[in-house]
Structures are given as structure tokens and as C-alpha cells.
Chain A
Amino acid sequence: MRYGETGFNLEIDLSRGNIERVETDPRLTELHLGGLGTNAKILWDRVPPETEPFSPDNLLIFSTGLLCGTPAPGANRTIVTSYSPQTLLMGYSMMGGFFAPELKYAGYDKIILRGKSPDLVYIWINNDKVEIRDANHLRGKGAIQTSELIKQELNQPNAQVAAIGLAGENRVFTASIEQGRSSSSRLGMGAVMGDKGVKAIVVRGTKDVNLARPDEYIGLCNDVLKYIKFRGENPVPNVMTILQGLGSPQEMLHVDEQWHTENFSWGNARSRRKDFWTKEVEERWKDVQETVRTRLISCYNCPIKCGAIISVPGISTYMMKCFTKLTYTMAAFVDDLDFGFRIAQRATEYGVDGFSTPQIMAFAFELREAGILTEADFEGCPSDNEGKFFWLLDRIVRREGIGDILADGVYWAARKIGKGAEAFDHNTIKKHEQLPLKLGMLNPVYFLMYATGEKINITQIEGQFPQAPFATMEERQEFISDWIQCPDDKFKQIVLDWDFRGEHSNPYYPTVDMSVDIVDWQEKMHYIDDALGVCAGLSSFPLKPPYHMHNYPKFITAATGIDIDEDGLTEVYNRNRNLLRAINVRRGLRRADEKPPEDHWKKRFPELEEKLLDAYYKFKGWDNDGIPTKESLHKLGMDYVAEDLEQRGIIKNEQG
């Protein structure tokens, strides 16, 4: 019997309509754990690097994490993997909700889609019974609407549905996959799903997920719950509100948005509005949020309420989490939060990334103002800020007129439009829109995470280490006093020594080596979460989370029976990190691509930045161009990767 995992993948060839239940190799679980790790392995093995994202040969993988479906609180993430149409690199975008555990209960660890369906279909997985069904009647329907219609049609109120909206059908590069209260948003996984002709995947399962050491495991789960409760009652002091608790930033709970609205930039990541937050705005926004928010909700088996049911009078109900309530509002320079909730409803039904899409629209209006796009491109566009955003969202999702070009995202649109439009593409990394930041001093840790992150989402790389120094020694000591998550005392010393000003301040402190260490630790936790399917909100994203390096090996061992300790887990992380890097290197990723947006920080330090990258690559066992070396791949038991890279001339023969 397999423990933790089911041991079976569901392979569906959409071109031929073939469905297979395939047993997997347990050795791969030991090497890569599951989720992100085994997804990367499948992509490496089976999809040649020359493959276009919209090729029938590209795979779209929906994976559970190793701990999904077990009683581990918050183990509910679905890891969706494919080649991204936007970055052309490996895309791995995750969603919480209820899909992954249900898939495990149906008896599968992953769904692997290949080929392309000649017609629009949905896939219905009910334990051992799997069908590809016609979805023509769902064409053009919203993602949530689709989910509700399918559950009614099948008379399966407990089924979980992952669906795309019109954006996915039209292969908009920022198309998302919507599911429950969550979505797989980044890197255009919805576009690949649409390209494959799959409107939705529906799953219902009633089988067991087995555990190797049940008593031990439930004890660990109880400890995690106890710690979650403790943290609920004891928020981290001396840090800003959104960093005090667990979970995703509690945007649905908190109504004070002074920090976001005054520190992040508005429009196309251009300008900050330092005096935006007034008494009137505060009252109005509080009132709006509390009026439309019906209930705070969670994902599967998680007590933290990061999401909310949103019912705006006159439009259909949807679910929202985190930052989307602000992204459209700020990009459009609309001062009323009501707009944010209304446009997010339409955007959710269309199924688009709430991070990128508003940036693309703001970019378009900036081009019009600069005369690069003409009035003809905007014929029929209303003049008010709200109206014009609704208008352009419709154009993009339908790929009509200028919307067809913008649907490929800022990077590609800028190059297609030309006439200097490239200069307005100033907030992308690896061809993907970023958080609209504009900060003063370069932060070396964040510089590295922005530059080298391959998830293309800063909020899912950071987390374990404080974002800024504490003001007093008392505060520092208080912080480290119960920092049980910290894997090594050297990190505590950095917190103690880190100052706002002087010798021990940004950008030269934490030092280059310290920064690399910190980034490695933060990355490690995210890579482990993404293999285990545990929500970053209970692990790698917040300060002082219930899951950490010291208890994760115990969870893995008790769940699966695989003996693993902290060193072993670090090795799996290094293997997964290098495999992902190798996949992207094989697709052309090099040092030149690892640049944060130009004006993310007002003060830049080119020499220091080069040193940081040098040191990071060296630490990782990569050459100075960011390519894993033969030697480091050998150490991780990945000679097959080294050989492949050598054959392609990416690793030179003389390199050791």
C-alpha cells in the first residue's frame, strides 16, 4: 500500500480521447516528494524544450501535494504545471480550495493532460469512472457560472470544479483557472487549459488516503492546530498589521489600507499617492467592504479565513482573497473601493490573473496618453476611469481590437506595438508583470528573490525572515526569543545586528553571503510547501508559521513511511530547485533575464547587485550564467540532467 499518496496518476490524451490510470514509481516520491517536484520531473522527461506552450505536445499537469488529503491542516494546494505562454519557461501556479484533496480521495495524485481536444470538453472524474464530456453548452460562460452549471448537470453538489472562463478559452496569456475560492492565476495556466479545449475538470472522490504512522501523524497535526491557535492569540509584535498573523494577508478582514495605497504605486506602477488615505476614504472603504463581504471563508481543512464571499448588489456572488480588491482600483486610479469589488467579479468570471491584468490595462492607457496607441484603438471607450477599465477588460478577454495585442501581457504587447512602447514595459520580470512597488533603498534579500525567483510571484518566495530591521534591541530580542522556526542561530544574529541606518543597514547589510543564506532558506520552505501541497500561508509565507524545517521531516515520515531528516529534506529541495532551473535553462533562461524592474527601488547599486547574483549562483552550484554545473548535478544524483545539458552544448565539456 502507498501511504500519503495514492500511487496513481490519471493520464488523459485529449487528441485521442484516451484515459489511463497509471501507477507511479515510489522512488520518484523519495527523490522529489510530489507536487512541484514530480511535476518538474515529468516535464523534464516528457516535454522537449523546443515545445511551444500551445502545442499539443505540451503537458498540463494538475497535481496534488504529498500531504494533500491527509489530516494535515492547510494541505490543500493543487500545483498546476506546464510551459507558460507568457514567460515561455516552466509555469507552476498553485491554487488552494478543495480540488487537490478531492482528487486524492478519487484515487489520483495527478491529472496529466496531453494533446488537444478538437471540441470544447469537460472532464468528469468520479472515483474510477472518468469521462470526457461535451462542454459546448458552456462556451463563453463564466468560470464560477460553469462550476455551478456542471454541479447541477451532474447532480453532484459535493464535486469540486476547476474551470476557465472566457479568457482561458481565448488563450489570454494571463488567463487563470478558477476553483472554489481560489485560482491558479500566474503564468497563464488557464490559457494552456483553454488551448487544450478543456473548459473544466470536475472531481468527486470517496476513497481513503492512508497514513504510515497514524498516531504520530495526528499528534503532529494537533500540535500544528495548537500553534495556529496560539499565534491567533499572540500576533507578532512590532511588525505591520498584515505581517502579524498567519495565512495570506488578511485583506478580506482588514479594512485599513493606508499602507498598500500609499506605499504601492498606482497606474502602470508609476506613481505613489502619499496622502491618499484620508478619514473620508477610510470610512467609505470600511463601509463598502463590510457591506459586500458576506462571510470570511477558508480552504479545505484550514482554520485561517483568508477569503470571503463577496455579494455586490446586482451582480452574481463570487469569492475573493487577498490583494485583488486593490489591484484594479489602484491601476485605474479609482478612489472608490466599490469599483474594485465590482470589476473583480467580472474578472473572476472571465478568469484572469488579478495581479497582471490591471497592470496591462494601466499600461495601455499610458500608451494612449503618450500617443503610442491612438484614439482609433480606443473607439467606443468611455472616458471615466471606471468605465474605461471595464471596457478594456472586455476587449482583452474577447481578444477584440487592441485587446487582442494586450491579451499577451505587457512584455509581448510592448514589442508588438513598438514605437517606443517598450519603455513603458518597466515592471516585468521574465516577461511577467510584478507587484507595483516603488521603494527607496535596495533590499539585498528582496533583490535576489525578485531576480532569481522562478515562480514569478514575490509573495510566494518571501516569508521566513523579517522584511525590515526592528527599531530597538529589545524588539529584536523579543522577536528571536521564541523563533522556533529558525533553522540556524546565525539568522538570529542577523536580526540582532540589523539596523535602519549605519554600517548594518540596507543595502550592504545583511551582507552578500548572509543575503544568499536568507534567500536560500526562504526559497527552501516554499519549494517544500509546493511539493507537499501545504499552503504557504501556514508555512513559508508568514513570520513564525506552524510548519517549519524542524517538524516537516516528521510529517513526511509519519505520512509516507519514508525516512527523512532535515538534511535529507534539504537535499530534496536542492534537487527540485536544480531540476526546475535546468528545465528553464534548457528553454533559454540566463543571467541576463534575472533582473528586477528598473525602478523598483529608487537607489540602485549595480556593483553590489552583480556581487549578489554571483554569490547566489555560486551557493547554488551554478555557473556565473545561472546554469547548474555538472558537479553539483552529480552530487544530487542528477547526472541525466548534466548529460542532457552537455549534449545540447549548454554545459561545456571542459566544465567540471
Chain B
Amino acid sequence: MSKVKKKVKTIKIDLDKCNGCRACEVICSAFHANPKYSSNNPARSRIRMIREPIRDIYVPVYAGEYTAAECMGRDKYVIDGKEYSECGFCRASCPSRDAFKEPDSGLPLKCDMCEGEEEPLCVKWCLNDALICEEREEEVEEEEKLGDMEIGLESLANKYGLQNIADTVARMSKKE
């Protein structure tokens, strides 16, 4: 695969500025609704607020890659005297927790930086500047982009094996 120069967007998260309002979840779920903006449901959001006001924990985390396996550790981190569980920071959609999964299907969700928009909408809606979009140029391997269906299928394949899925599809096609 050839290397190409690509602009990579990242979101810088400044925990100190977060006011815990969850506007990032709101606009993310609305943007990704089908048709666009037709519904709102933070449970479908690709960014999550880990929010424990009484312990002053406010951590927006946006969804990364799907992972088929649970991780080994369940480490705890103490930062500025506050205790965070490892899952709090983890961006993966994994088998051991509900975060970053479609509430109906359980299929994984992944942040796509609001493809087609100037900047991710969670950044736009965060008037407190806890989320800041940064762009940098990187040399990356050219990679074919996966569509929504492929992302879903990939996770199904990881879970059940490609052959099982092919068999199921064949069986379903017969019924129709």
C-alpha cells in the first residue's frame, strides 16, 4: 500500500473547561440520525460524557475502534486526587460495556469527525471550548474507507466469524 499525505483531525479535550452539559452527545446523536437531525438520543452518540459531579469527574471521550476482546486489566488511575477507572478513558467499543454501541442492535459506533462538516459538531457545540479541533498533516498508508455497513459487518465477523455470516446471509436470501 502506498503512503499518502493526509490531514488528520483530532479533538483536544480540556477537562478543566468541561461544564458537563452533554451538548456534545446531543449534537452527535442528532447528526448521525437518519435522516440527519431527525432524532436525538445521546445513547447513540459517538462521544460520551463520563460524568460524576460529586467526585468532580467530567471526561468527554469519543468513540474509537471496535475491539472484539475485553482487555485484561481494570486499572484505576488517580489524577489530581480523583480516581478514574480505565474504562473511563477507553475509546473502544468492547464486549464488556455498553458504551459506544447502538442501543437497539448493539453494533459498535465510531467517531467519524462528522464527515462533510467543517469541524466535528461536538466541537462546534461546545461553547466552553472543552473540545478543540486540531488538524495535523500525517503520512499514512492509503486505506480504503469503510462504510457504516462494513463497520457493522466487520464487528459481526469478529464475533461470529466470516463464514457464519456468509452462511446466514445465504440462508436469509433463500427465505426471501
Contacts and interface: CB of A to CB of B under 8 A. Distances in A.
Contact of B127 (A209, A218, A297, A303): A303
B99 to A, nearest CB: 10
Contacts of A294: 56
A232 interface: yes
Contacts of A303: 19, 21, 23, 126-128
Nearest to A209: B40
A317 B82 CA distance: 13
B54 A206 contact: no
B147 interface: no
A105 B21 contact: no
Interface stretch (B27-35, B59-67, B137-145, B167-175): B27-35
Interface in A577-606: none
A157 B56 contact: no
Nearest to B21: A298
A229 B127 contact: yes
B21 A208 contact: no
Contacts of A305: 19, 128
Contacts of B125: 225
A225 B26 contact: no
Interface stretch (A69-77, A525-533, A614-622): A69-77
Contacts of A232: 127
Contacts of A144: 54
B127 A208 contact: no
Given A206-B41, A229-B127, A214 B36 contact: yes
A69 B127 contact: no
Contact of B27 (A71, A207, A295, A296): A71
B73 interface: no
28 contacts: A71-B26, A73-B23, A148-B54, A180-B53, A206-B103, A208-B39, A208-B44, A210-B39, A211-B40, A214-B36, A215-B36, A215-B37, A218-B30, A229-B127, A295-B19, A295-B56, A295-B58, A296-B19, A298-B20, A298-B21, A301-B21, A301-B22, A301-B23, A302-B23, A303-B128, A305-B128, A309-B56, A317-B55
B139 to A, nearest CB: 36
Nearest to A226: B127
The 10 A-B pairs at the shortest CB distance, nearest first, are namely A214-B37, A206-B43, A303-B127, A208-B39, A298-B21, A206-B103, A298-B19, A214-B38, A208-B41, A218-B37
B133 to A, nearest CB: 16
A225 B58 CA distance: 22
A302 B21 contact: yes
Interface of B: 19-23, 26-27, 30, 33, 35-44, 51-56, 58, 103, 125-128
Given A211-B37, A303-B23, 5 more contacts: A69-B40, A105-B41, A157-B52, A180-B53, A311-B56
Contact of A71 (B30, B51, B54): B30
A229 to B, nearest CB: 6
Interface string A424-453: 000000000000000000000000000000
A317 to B, nearest CB: 5
Given A208-B39, A295-B58, A181 B128 contact: no
A562 to B, nearest CB: 17
Interface residues of A, number: 44
A218 B33 CA distance: 12
Contact of B53 (A69, A181, A206): A181
Nearest to A76: B21
A210 B23 contact: no
B41 A297 contact: no
Contacts of B22: 98, 300-301
A98 B52 CA distance: 13
Interface in A368-398: none
Interface in A294-321: 294-303, 305, 309, 311, 316-319
B35 to A, nearest CB: 6
A98 B22 CA distance: 10
A299 B39 CA distance: 20
A228 to B, nearest CB: 6
B98 to A, nearest CB: 9
Contacts of A319: 53
A297 B26 contact: no
B128 A208 contact: no
A594 B42 CA distance: 45
Nearest to B38: A214
B37 A217 contact: yes
Contacts of A217: 37
A181 B52 CA distance: 12
B33 A208 contact: yes
Contacts of B33: 208, 214
A466 B27 CA distance: 34
A215 B54 CA distance: 37
B23 A211 contact: no
A298 B20 CA distance: 6
Interface string A272-301: 000000000000000000000011111111
A297 B23 contact: no
Contacts of B127: 225, 228-229, 232, 303
B69 to A, nearest CB: 22
B54 to A, nearest CB: 5
Nearest to B31: A218
Contacts of A211: 37-40
A208 B20 CA distance: 21
Nearest to B50: A157
B56 A317 contact: yes
Contact of B20 (A157, A228, A297): A297
A303 B126 CA distance: 7
A297 B51 CA distance: 11
B21, B23, B30, B43 interface centre (most CB from chain A within 10 Å): B21
A158 B48 CA distance: 11
